[in-house]
Amino acid sequence: MYFSVRVENDSLVLFLQGTWRVIQLNEVLLELNTFPWPNNHQLIIDGSTLSEIDTSSINTLLKFLSSRGNSFDIISWRGFSKRQQNLIDLVKTQWNLESSLKPRNMLGIIEQLGKGTLDVGVAIFDIFSFIGQTLTACWRLLSRPKLFRYKEFVVQLELACVNALPICSLVTFLIGLVVAYLFAGQFEKYGANIFIVDSVALAMCRELSPIIVAIIIAGRSGSAFTAQIGTMKISQEIEAMTVLGLSYMQVLVLPRVLALVIALPLLVFIGDLMGIFGGLAIANLQLGVTGSTFIDRLQAVLTARHVLVGLIKAPAFAFFIALIGCHLGLQVEDNARSVGLNTTATVVRSIVAVILLNAAFAIIFVKLGV
């Protein structure tokens, strides 16, 4: 029991009892709500049997009483300790101030749709203007090669290329293996075992290796760029660079873009080899195509043209992955959540960009007849 009620000379006296703490507010409210309140009474609140009350409880009691139509003017208070009375006064002052509570501003669905569409438009515009900035910075670099940051470039190349070798090799090897396994069953039916070489080599070199490696790098390096640059932005390092007369484009963006543009074709080439190697393993185990037969056939069907088609795409993928990564890193806002959001966005946008570019390349190569 948190309170009891008695009638004294035509007025209602509410005796508060025990401990009223914010932790137990739910029980207090339950009791208040289930009590049959008589109407139209002068209300007296008595604190003489109360051992403890806190601000939240007072606030809730006041809200409750006013929701039952008791205005403050007709409530009188008695029997509270000085400290409790002070608390009551403190809460009452706050209470009068904020009676003009505004309704919360909620975005309607149409408003959200419009906002979302505009955001996409802004994002596309931003990335194109960032491409422009990067190319301008490149132009400046060409006219003044001394600006180039070799150290940063080499560090990034190691991170993006050398350190990515194991994972890229493993994944492309397994993809080659799986593709060969899939085809092996089909070719075996027609006794066309040797065509396993054509299919695996062409699929890996033209399409699979570039796409798979680009997606791995988007997840590995693109996200890392965003996280690194974003964290630097939060700790004001980017601003510090600018004030010290350093261009973040030259110091941060260009070395990363160039490192990735060089790293990705190399990784794609390794991916080609590993994928073909996976195909060779299955051809050998499943179809009885010996290693030397496989290599002979490979030399006949895999002309340089096919390998180049894959390798030409790689720098374009790399350019966009690096740009998106750096750009979203620079767009990080001044809070921890923003880094996470932008890092995710980098991976998603990079993968979408890679797949769109790949489709564009496919059309171009078909038109060119390559």
Partner 1 sequence: MTTLTSRQNAIISVQNVETYFGGKAVHQGISLDIYPGKIVSLIGGSGTGKSTLLREIVGLLPPTRGEIFLFGKNVWRQSEDKMIALRRRFGMLFQDGALFSGLSVRENIAIPLVEQTQIASPIIEDLVDMWLGLVGLSVDTGDKVPSELSGGMRKRVALARALVLEPEIIFLDEPTSGLDPINARAFDKLIKTLSESLGLTVFIVTHDLDTICGITDRLIVLEQGKVLADGAVKNVAKIKHPWIESYFNSRADH
CA 286 – CA 88 distance, rounded (Å):
85
Binding residues for partner 1 restricted to 332-361, rule: CB under 8 A: 333-338
Fill in the per-residue mask, 282 to 321: x = in contact with partner 1 (CB under 8 A), - = not in contact: ----------------------------------------
Cβ 4 to partner 1 shortest distance, Å? 22
Q: What angle do CA 133, 134, 137 make, to 5 degrees?
A: 90
Q: Measured from the CB atom, is 102 or 367 closer to partner 1? A: 102
CA 51 – CA 46 distance, rounded (Å):
12
* Contact with partner 1 (CB under 8 A) among 55, 163, 236, 299: 55
Cβ 54 to partner 1 shortest distance, Å? 4
* Contact with partner 1 (CB under 8 A) among 97, 110, 244, 304: 97
Binding flag, residue 91, partner 1 (CB under 8 A): yes
Amino acid at 246: L
Binding flag, residue 112, partner 1 (CB under 8 A): no
Spatial CA neighbour of 59 closest among 28, 83, 30, 37: 28
Cβ 55 to partner 1 shortest distance, Å? 6
Q: Measured from the CB atom, is 91 or 213 closer to partner 1? A: 91
- Count how many Cα atoms sit within 13 Å of the Cα of residue 206 in the half-sphere of its side chain: 17
SS3 state at 80: coil
Do 44 and 13 form a contact (C-beta atoms < 8 A)?
yes
Residue bearing tokens 């508060």: 16
CA 15 – CA 350 distance, rounded (Å):
67
Q: Which residues bind partner 1 (CB under 8 A)?
A: 21-23, 25-26, 29, 54-56, 59-60, 63, 83, 86-87, 90-91, 94-95, 97-98, 101-102, 104-105, 333-338
